[in-house]
Amino acid sequence: MKRAAFGGLFLAALAAAFYFRLTDLGLRPMHHDEANQAVKFGTLLEEREYIYDKNDHHGPALYFLTLPAAKAMGRQRFIDVDEVLLRTVPAFFGAAILLLLLLFGRGLEPGARALAALLIAVSPAMTYYSRFYIQEMCFVFFVLGFLGSLWRYVDRPDGGWFAVAGIFAGLMAATKETAVIVYATAALGLAAVLVREKIIAPKTDMPVQRRFFLHHIIIMIIIAATVAAAFFSSFGANPGGIKDAAAALKIYAEKGSFAPGFHAHPFFYYLGTLVGSISGSLVWTELFVLLLGLAGMIFIFLPRRRNEDNDPVDSLPVDRSLGLFFVVYTLGTTLVYSFLRYKTPWNMLPFYLGWLILAGIGGTAIFRATKTILLRIVVILAIATGLGHLAWQSYLADFRYPADPRNPYVYAQTSLDFLKLVGRIDDLAAIHPEGKGLLVEVLAGPYEQWPLPWYLRKYKKVGYWAEAETAGDISGADLIVADAEQAEAVRKKLGDRYVVEHYGLRPGVLLTLFIPQKLWDEFMKSLEGRRNP
């Protein structure tokens, strides 16, 4: 591919990537996982304090990376931070992933790199979760940075790429505990490359002796550990965070292997999500990517063609060893993530990234394998149609149905009805003598409380209780929010002096708002006054 053509396609991919990731970031209500991360960031922003929680929330990198964005926008208080600012951070990393494809240099030819960039740019899974304030997209960015710099080092071990790989490896560890899966599969991929080049390649095609040096690997590990330790210890303020990070590996291994209840899914959950689903008139599928990825794998393992002089000729758009590295990494991570019982749909992104790159290789290899102009036109049209369908799905997922259960990427998503609850509380506070100082009591289980702490952060007196019995006397509260399990107990305590309203939190989960009759009467009078000024 000519440089101008590659440049044009790559810029188009970048434009699409930023469009789908940064446009209208406030459309969807905050997911409870997002709200959790947001409140953790709020503590860091206002109190300059972060303490790693080995049982939940994952690593600290996301919060520290959000600080520069908040400061750049002049936000010094948590109350001034909004969804758009927070989501801009993972959205930026989600788009910047495309730039990391350049790390593979001559190993990944321009055509395959451009097609992989286009696929990543418009994949609905990649765009939808780039718009979430969770760790996943930053993690995927660091994963590709680690893989790319590791390959550059192995390709030319005389450079300093081992140090860059160490930085990315440390950032991965500081982002998600599942970094260990990537380390293991990347090491397996490198082992496969070395076996191929030392044993297989000299007998079958042009030998290339890649290697690495033990002292470089040791330095890389030291750099990675130093970077991770800096984040987990809050840059020295909390040394105990380093010990907790090590202990977290066992906790997350147990959680992933023995996950009960809602997050326990079968082996084919991820692949089934990608293969597709039909919801009424909506067809969702990324099977196009998987098929091109399989084609890429097949081409990588096909033997080189021979010319008339019996010399090997290779038209594969990727270095064969790099292609093998991608295959081992992708299949390895796909298997490990699929075997783990604990599954959320965004967890598939680290291995789906490999499928997207292999799809770029596969699509380009198919184009090169066709010999006539007519067949090449057919291939181009098929690829363009596939890209167009992916882009259309991203438009639907990101802008038309961002919180709709018919969207397969929606998972335990906060419903739009919940925003009506928040709006009702705001309306009632507006007529209350104490305004934002009114007392709100929330009686709900830990998962049913979120994302209320995010939406009620502007209120001065909000209490959170897991059970009505532990809340004590709640009759003095100005407003009470209860989940389905606590609502009946609250009703018995309060009697009939309260007006009751019901709101959906997520599919199948209801919250009940208890409003004192006097406050309700004042609210209705205010509404009447607005209708008849």
Residues 408-428 have pLDDT tens digits of 999 999 999 999 999 999 999
Looking at the structure, tell me whether residues 425 and 516 fall in a common domain.
Answer: yes
Q: At residue 312, does pLDDT exceed 70?
A: no
pLDDT (0 to 100) of residue 508: 87
Mean pLDDT within 16-27: 96
Q: Is residue 7 part of a domain?
A: yes
Number of domains forming the structure of the chain: 2
Residue-wise pLDDT for 190-244, tens only, equals 999 988 877 766 655 555 666 778 888 899 999 999 999 999 999 888 888 888 8
Mean pLDDT within 129-155: 96
Q: Is residue 409 part of a domain?
A: no
- Of 360, 376, 400, the residue that ends a domain is 400
Looking at the structure, tell me whether residues 489 and 387 fall in a common domain.
Answer: no
The answer for residues whose C-beta is within 8 angstroms of residue 372's C-beta and 6 or more apart is: none
Q: Is residue 118 part of a domain?
A: yes
Per-residue pLDDT band for 334 (boundaries 50, 70, 90) equals very high
pLDDT (0 to 100) of residue 93: 98
pLDDT (0 to 100) of residue 371: 87
- Worst-scoring range by mean pLDDT, 127-136, 386-395, 469-478, 524-533? 524-533
Looking at the structure, tell me whether residues 359 and 501 fall in a common domain.
Answer: no
In this structure, what token pair is assigned to residue 296?
Answer: 């890429």
What does pTM read for this prediction? 0.93
- Of 400, 428, 457, the residue that ends a domain is 400
Mean pLDDT within 471-499: 86
Looking at the structure, tell me whether residues 143 and 101 fall in a common domain.
Answer: yes
Q: At residue 390, does pLDDT exceed 90?
A: yes
For 150-195, give the secondary structure using H, E and C: HHHHHHCCCCCHHHHHHHHHHHHHCCCCCHHHHHHHHHHHHHHHHH
Q: At residue 404, does pLDDT exceed 80?
A: yes
**Where would I find the H helices in 269-372?**
269-275, 287-301, 320-339, 349-369
Q: Closest by alpha carbon to 361, among 95, 101, 96? A: 101
In this structure, what token pair is assigned to residue 272?
Answer: 């089934």
**Where would I find the H helices in 437-506?**
446-449, 452-455, 484-494
pLDDT (0 to 100) of residue 108: 94
Question: Mean pLDDT across the chain, nearest whole number?
Answer: 90
- Of 400, 435, 452, the residue that ends a domain is 400
Q: Is residue 408 part of a domain?
A: no
Q: Is residue 410 part of a domain?
A: no
Looking at the structure, tell me whether residues 236 and 340 fall in a common domain.
Answer: yes
Q: What is the DSSP letter of 471?
A: G
Mean pLDDT within 112-140: 97
pLDDT (0 to 100) of residue 143: 98
pLDDT (0 to 100) of residue 208: 62
Per-residue pLDDT band for 306 (boundaries 50, 70, 90) equals low
Looking at the structure, tell me whether residues 490 and 346 fall in a common domain.
Answer: no
Per-residue pLDDT band for 532 (boundaries 50, 70, 90) equals low
Q: What is the DSSP letter of 3?
A: H
Q: Is residue 292 part of a domain?
A: yes
Calpha distance 212→159 (Å, rounded): 11
pLDDT (0 to 100) of residue 201: 64
Looking at the structure, tell me whether residues 136 and 274 fall in a common domain.
Answer: yes
Whether a cis peptide bond, with omega within 30° of 0, leads into 303 is no
Looking at the structure, tell me whether residues 383 and 443 fall in a common domain.
Answer: no
For 320-348, give the secondary structure using H, E and C: HHHHHHHHHHHHHHHHHHHHCCECCHHHH
* 511: three-class secondary structure by DSSP: strand
pLDDT (0 to 100) of residue 109: 94
- Worst-scoring range by mean pLDDT, 203-212, 279-288, 388-397, 519-528? 203-212
Q: What is the DSSP letter of 304?
A: P
Q: Could you list the residue range(s) of the whole structural domain that residue 220 is in? A: 3-400
Per-residue pLDDT band for 470 (boundaries 50, 70, 90) equals confident
The answer for residues whose C-beta is within 8 angstroms of residue 371's C-beta and 6 or more apart is: none
Share of the chain above pLDDT 70, in %: 94
- Worst-scoring range by mean pLDDT, 46-50, 185-189, 388-392? 46-50
Mean pLDDT within 507-524: 92
CA separation, residue 179 to residues 228, 296, 333, 349, 466 (Å)? 11, 25, 11, 13, 33
Q: Is residue 341 part of a domain?
A: yes
CATH, residue 478: 3.40.190
Cα dihedral: 175, 179, 182, 184 (round 10): 160
pLDDT (0 to 100) of residue 495: 79
Q: Is residue 406 part of a domain?
A: no
Calpha distance 216→444 (Å, rounded): 52
Looking at the structure, tell me whether residues 310 and 241 fall in a common domain.
Answer: yes
